[in-house]
Amino acid sequence: MSQQKKLLIIDDDPDFVDGIKSVLVGAKYDVDVAYNPKDGISALQTKHYDLLLLDIMMGRGAEGIMIARKMRKDPKLRELPVLIITGIREQLAFLFPGEPVHPRFVQVDELVEKPIEPQLLLDKVSALLQASEVRKTKPI
């Protein structure tokens, strides 16, 4: 049996986090939470995670994007699969005028809208984890 996968949620809404965390924990994932971008970044840098669930609209704006940008620059974090969770899909168009609605932030990512049905959440998470496994084992 494969070992338990470790996930990190970065989202500033504790109630929303409770809602998805309980689903993920119920599916036997090991889940950490950071309630602001700063804690999120430091968790990413100090611990190992298999997947990140990232909220885009945090704090005074799209602070989640900053995290994605930082990750893109970091050779190690660049490989971490990310499930981007956003309040409104269209907001992303405001943030990246002229870009396609779903800009690729990192190597492996997916975008879902809040709220997210538990089954869909679990499907996306396991699909991303699998895609990242495949990437790791494939020779370049």
Partner 1 sequence: MAAKHKIIIIDDEDVVLDSCTQILEGNNYTVVTASNGTQGLKLVEEVDPDLVFVDLKMPGISGTEVLEKIAHTDPTIATVVITGYATIDSAVEAMKKGAYDFLPKPFTPDEFRMITRRGLERRRLLQETIALRKEKEVLRDNYAAIVSHELKAPLVAIQQNLYALLGEQSDNLTKSQKDRLERMKSRIDDLNKLILSWLRVLSVDINNIKGSFTNLRVQTLISKALESVEPHAIRKDIEIVTTIDDPNSSILGDEVSFTEALVNIIGNAVKYSYASSKVFVTVKGKDVVIEIEISDSGIGIPKDELANIFTDFYRGKSGQVVEGSHGLGLTISRRIVEVHGGTIAVESEPGKGTTFIIKVPALTI
* Secondary structure in 3-state letters for 43-90: HHHHCCCCEEEEECCECCEEHHHHHHHHHHHCCCHHHCCEEEEECCCC
Shortest Cβ distance from residue 78 to partner 1 (Å)?
Answer: 27
Q: Restricting to residues 63-92, which ones interact with partner 1 according to CB under 8 A? A: 87-91
Q: Which residue has the tokens 């990413």?
A: 44
**Residue with Cβ nearer partner 1 (95 or 127):** 95
Nearest to 55 by CA among 11, 90, 110, 93: 11
Residue from the set 1, 2, 15, 138 that interacts with partner 1 by CB under 8 A: 15
Q: Restricting to residues 116-135, which ones interact with partner 1 according to CB under 8 A? A: 116-118
Residues in contact with partner 1, counted by CB under 8 A, come to a total of 26
Measured in residues, the chain has a length of 140
Distance, in Å, from the CA atom of 101 to the CA atom of 115, rounded to the nearest integer, reads 19
Q: By CB under 8 A, tell whether 94 contacts partner 1.
A: yes
Are the C-beta atoms of residues 105 and 78 closer than 8 Å to each other? no
Q: By CB under 8 A, tell whether 30 contacts partner 1.
A: no
Residue from the set 43, 66, 93, 112 that interacts with partner 1 by CB under 8 A: 93
Which residues here bind partner 1, judged by CB under 8 A?
13, 15-16, 18-20, 22-23, 26, 57, 61, 87-91, 93-94, 98, 100-101, 114-118
